[in-house]
Amino acid sequence: MIERGISQERLEILWLCVAAVSLVFFLRLINLQILRHVYYREIAEKNRTQVLPQSAPRGRIFTRDSAAVAANKPSFSLIYFPGRLRSVDAMDKMAQSLSKRLNAPFEELRAGLYKAVKKEAPMRLAENLSSKAMFSLSELKTMYEGIDIIVEARRYYPFGKYLSHLTGYISKMDSREWALYGKNKDYGMDSRVGKAGLEKTYEKDLKGRDGGIYLEVDSRGKLNRILESRKWAPGADIYLTVDSKIQAAAEEGLKRSSTSRGAVVAVDPRTGAVLAIASMPDYDPNRFVSYSDEKIADDFKELPEFNVAIQGTYAPGSIFKIVSAAAALDSGRLDPAETFFCPGYYDAGSRVFKCWEKKGHGRVDFMQGLTHSCDVYFYNLGLKTGALNIEKYARAFRLGLPTGIPLPDEKSGNIFGPSIRAAKKSYWFIGDTLNLSIGQGEMLVTPIQMAQMAAAAANGGIFWRPYYVERIVNSAGEDIFKGKPEMLSRAVLKDSTWASLKDGLKQVVLEGTGRAAKINGVDVFGKTGTAQNPHGKDHAWFVAFAGLAGETCEIAVAVLVEYGEHGASSAAPIARDVILAALRGKLPENREKSQVTSHRSQALREVVGTTVPAAQSGLKELSVSTAAAAEEGR
């Protein structure tokens, strides 16, 4: 070694430094590339893939007789992929020509473009484009880089307001719903979710699995190539127990009523299946699917989301006489042959209680009292039976209890009787007994409770839980759910009680207040009611059940017309239409005078006939266009 006059140890120290630092780098590389490799690989994958979600068609909703009340149709959306054109000028120009062709505000489009460039992600600029706009846009596609049009399934309610309270509607998610669904991969910030009715209750089944185009993008979000195009799986279809003809008759009837407000519920007394459920005012769910926010905001403000059929509570009025009559007969406190004199009022000592017939009914027995709904007869009946007894039977008839229909926010109404008063440490007066026996006072019921009660009267006391989903069929064609009758309870009354009650209710329709519901060849049992309304005109009630002459009853119906004043004149004709719609096909001879319902259901059939295949072909088109979009992207 050549003598240099300096220690060479210093270089060795530096060399040791290199060795030590290399060891640190080595360990660090092991940590990064081997131990945490999976974590970094995932981030790298996320970096380069951009998913352009394509929402799956929601499951359709059909009535029992295959009319599609909720379907899908193809919808075209304008997508912008931020590309090389990212100068403010270029974007302004693009927004200008887009706004001209789309008839959309320039500022909105420009904001969308800016946002897309800022977030470096594809952005939906416009949705639900008309075919006319499509035509001029496809021309624009060649002029501006990054503009593309995709096809998606869009919710569509062919009949608009029809059955809207049951189907509900879908719309954009709010923060609460985002917390609920956001974890699911199929939901994006702009996904639509069910907001009410079936759409909400069966969101999970209806949703389906979203598809999407998986794009490889560079750091600026520019599309590089398409990695994968994943097909969506449509949601499960729901078949309802609701019959389109009966539903049409119910809605038609309500619309024709004096106020066009109220509810109709028809159930099958043999199973509890809901045949029709109409509530007015109703709404057109199509309005909320659309995408421009400002328009929807106005619509939301006046959205009649209140479902009268299950949420409206009213005094039952005279239809409660079914319960008090059953109580009187079954408890044996009343001799049906005994007569009372009705002068048109009842003097209870401290106060005079009127009969609805000012002239009075004269001397009436049970049959006549029920047939003509004589209030004075029922005052006497109530006093004889006793308020506690009536309350007991009201409980047996499940008043004050929700029917258990699987719809959100059902009201249970209010039961009224001496034991309630006692529980509240208050007093029960004789006037209360009189009010109770004719269904006035604090008693509150919902239309669906009354339909359930009518069904029970028809089938000998069985209270079914109303159900409206017959089956849910997934996209593979398998039944994933089947609706089953479920008995909630049974009111055990003597056979003779049921028999006389039915006789009385039949007389009501044949000769009494319910004559407007009479149908030749059909046994109709009914009871009118007028619910006193302290806030305005009285509400009109009619409950009925019916079957072909001499056979078991097939339908029980409750009609409420808000401010309809008289059950006999405004509610009973609607019930008649509904019953007729249900039984028309089974009548031996079609010699009915009223053809109104027939026309309506005929029209419905025609629309259904064209709509279902149209929707299906729309879906087919959809899958083709997805593939086409994938090709174009390449």
Partner 1 sequence: MIFTSSSGLKKNRMDWLLFFAVLALLILGSFAVFSSVAVLPQQARIIRTHLIAIPLGFAAFSVIWSLNYQIFQDQWKFVYGAALLILLGVLIFGVVDKGSRSWYRLPLFSVQPSEFARIGLILAIANYLDKRIARIREFAVALGAIFLSLPVFLLLIKQPDFSAVLITLPVVLIMLFAAGANLFHLSVILGYSFISALFPVLWTVITLNSELLGSPLINYFFHLSDFGWNTLFFTAGVGVGAYLLWILSVKLYSNISGMFFAGAAVVLVLGFFSGIMLKNQMKDYQQKRLEVFLSPESDPRGAGYNLLQARIAIGSGGLFGKGIFSGTQSRLGFVPERHTDFILAVIGEELGFWGAMLVMGLYVLIMGRLRACAHLARDRFGYLVVCGIFGMFMVYFFINFGMLLGLSPVAGVPLPLLSYGGSNLVATLMALGLAQSIYARRYALV
Residue numbers at the binding site for partner 1 (CB under 8 A): 1-2, 4-8, 10-11, 13-15, 17-19, 21-22, 24-26, 28-30, 32-34, 36-37, 39-41, 43-45, 47-48, 216-220, 224
- Nearer of residues 5 and 550 to partner 1, judged by Cβ: 5
The distance of closest approach from Cβ of residue 29 to partner 1 in the complex, given in angstroms and rounded to an integer, is 5
- Using CA atoms, how far apart are residues 618 and 234, in angstroms rounded to an integer? 13
CA distance 140 to 226: 22
In the complex, what is the shortest distance from the CB of residue 235 to partner 1, in angstroms, rounded to a whole number? Answer: 34
Selection from 582, 599, 579 nearest residue 517 by Cα: 579
Output 44 or 499, the one with its CB closest to partner 1. 44
Question: HSE on the CB side for 258, CA within 13 Å?
Answer: 17
Rounded CA gap, 1 and 394, in Å? 117
In the bound state with partner 1, the residue whose beta carbon lies nearer, of 217 and 522, is: 217
**Cβ density class 274-310: b for 16+ within 10 Å, e for less:** bbbbbbbbbbebbbbbbbeeeebeeeeeebebebbbb
Using the minimum distance from each CB to partner 1, give the nearer residue, 593 or 634.
634
φ, ψ (nearest 5 deg) of residue 54:
-125, 110
435 and 316 in contact (C-beta within 8 Å)? no
Rounded least distance, CB 216 to partner 1, Å: 7
- The H or E element spanning position 469 is strand 469-473
Closest CB to partner 1 among residues 16, 480: 16
Tell which residue, 266, 113, 211, 132, has the closest CA to residue 475.
211
Q: What minimum distance in Å lies between the beta carbon of 143 and partner 1?
A: 22
Nearer to partner 1, 16 or 628 (CB): 16
CB of residue 27 to partner 1, shortest distance in Å: 10
Taking each helix axis from N to C terminus, what angle separates 596-633 and 244-256, rounded to the nearest 10 degrees? 110
Q: Which is nearer to partner 1, 34 or 476 (CB)?
A: 34
> What's the Rg (C-alpha) of the chain?
34
What residues form DSSP beta bridges with 170? Answer: 194
Nearest to 522 by CA among 590, 572, 587, 573: 587
Choice between 28 and 363, CB closer to partner 1:
28
Smallest gap, in angstroms, from Cβ of residue 46 to partner 1? 10
Question: Residues 6 or more apart from 488 whose CB is under 8 A from it?
Answer: 398, 403, 404, 463, 464, 465
DSSP-based three-state secondary structure for 329 = helix
CB atoms within 10 A of CB 397: 27
On whether the CB atoms of residues 432 and 420 are closer than 8 A, the answer is no
Residue 602 to residues 248, 309, 366, Cα–Cα distance (Å): 10, 26, 43
Give the integer Cα–Cα distance in Å for 325 and 504: 10
Cβ 120 to partner 1 shortest distance, Å: 10
12 or 190, CB closer to partner 1? 12
Rounded Cα distance, 282 and 161, in Å:
6
Q: Which two tokens stand for residue 39?
A: 């974590």
Q: Which of 571, 572, 569 is nearest to 561 (CA)?
A: 571
**CA 403/CA 236 separation, integer angstroms:** 27
Element (H, E) at 612: helix 596-633
* Smallest distance, partner 1 to C-beta of residue 113, A: 19
Closest distance of CB 33 from partner 1, Å: 4
Closest approach, Cβ 80 to partner 1, in A, equals 20
Instruction: Give the CA distances from residue 465 to residues 455, 483, 572, 584, in Å, rounded to whole numbers and listed in that order.
Output: 11, 11, 25, 26
Give the shortest CB-39-to-partner 1 separation in angstroms.
Answer: 7
Q: State in angstroms the smallest separation of the CB of 88 from partner 1.
A: 18
Of 12 and 107, which CB lies nearer to partner 1 in the complex structure? 12
Q: Considering beta carbons, is residue 52 or 266 the nearer one to partner 1?
A: 52
CB-wise, 22 or 595, nearer to partner 1? 22
Least spacing, CB of residue 10 vs partner 1, in Å:
5
For partner 1, give the closer residue by CB, 149 or 217.
Answer: 217
